[in-house]
């Protein structure tokens, strides 16, 4: 007889459902071992988030990142390329689009990767 039993069973599934998602797991169980010393004991009381929410959040951030990168890229291209739109007031618009473009280029891929692995991996 194996220590793990014969595999998944309805009794184990029902026990996990009764205890809430994740059974006796905590949020800290997904933290890499080399970072555990930085986690306060306070966080051990919370159960992990349902993986479905990680998927929804990753998909949403991926779509918003793509739309933001394309939209801000078009704003920079159009406002910088059209002579009539190169006014001092539109310089602020280009500056904001550039800042948002850089933020989304650097942050959205990292967030999507983290949502896929359900923890901070970078």
Average pLDDT over residues 8-12: 57
Backbone angles phi, psi at 109, to 5 degrees: -65, -40
Instruction: Please give the torsion angle defined by the CA atoms of residues 53, 54, 57 and 62, in that order, rounded to the nearest 10 degrees.
Output: -150
Contacts 24+ apart (CB under 8 A), 25-32: 30/118, 30/119, 31/119, 32/119
Q: What is the structure's pLDDT at 1?
A: 41
Q: Structure pTM?
A: 0.69
**pLDDT confidence band for 47 (50 / 70 / 90):** confident
Q: Which long-range contacts (C-beta less than 8 Å, at least 24 apart) are formed by 49-53?
A: 49/118, 50/21, 51/118
pLDDT more than 70, % of the chain? 81
Instruction: Tally the C-alpha atoms within 13 A of residue 1's C-alpha that lie toward its C-beta.
Output: 2
Mean pLDDT of the chain: 85
């Amino acid at each position: 007889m194996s220590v793990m039993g014969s595999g998944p069973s309805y009794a184990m599934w029902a026990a996990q459902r009764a205890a809430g998602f994740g059974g006796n797991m905590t949020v800290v169980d997904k933290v890499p071992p080399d970072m555990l010393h930085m986690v306060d004991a306070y966080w051990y009381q919370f159960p992990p988030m349902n993986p479905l929410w990680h998927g929804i959040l990753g998909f949403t951030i991926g779509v918003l990142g793509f739309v933001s990168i394309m939209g801000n890229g078009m704003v920079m291209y159009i406002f910088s390329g059209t002579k009539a739109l190169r006014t001092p007031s539109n310089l602020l618009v280009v500056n904001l689009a550039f800042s948002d473009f850089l933020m989304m280029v650097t942050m959205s891929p990292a967030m999507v990767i983290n949502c896929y692995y359900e923890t901070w991996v970078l």
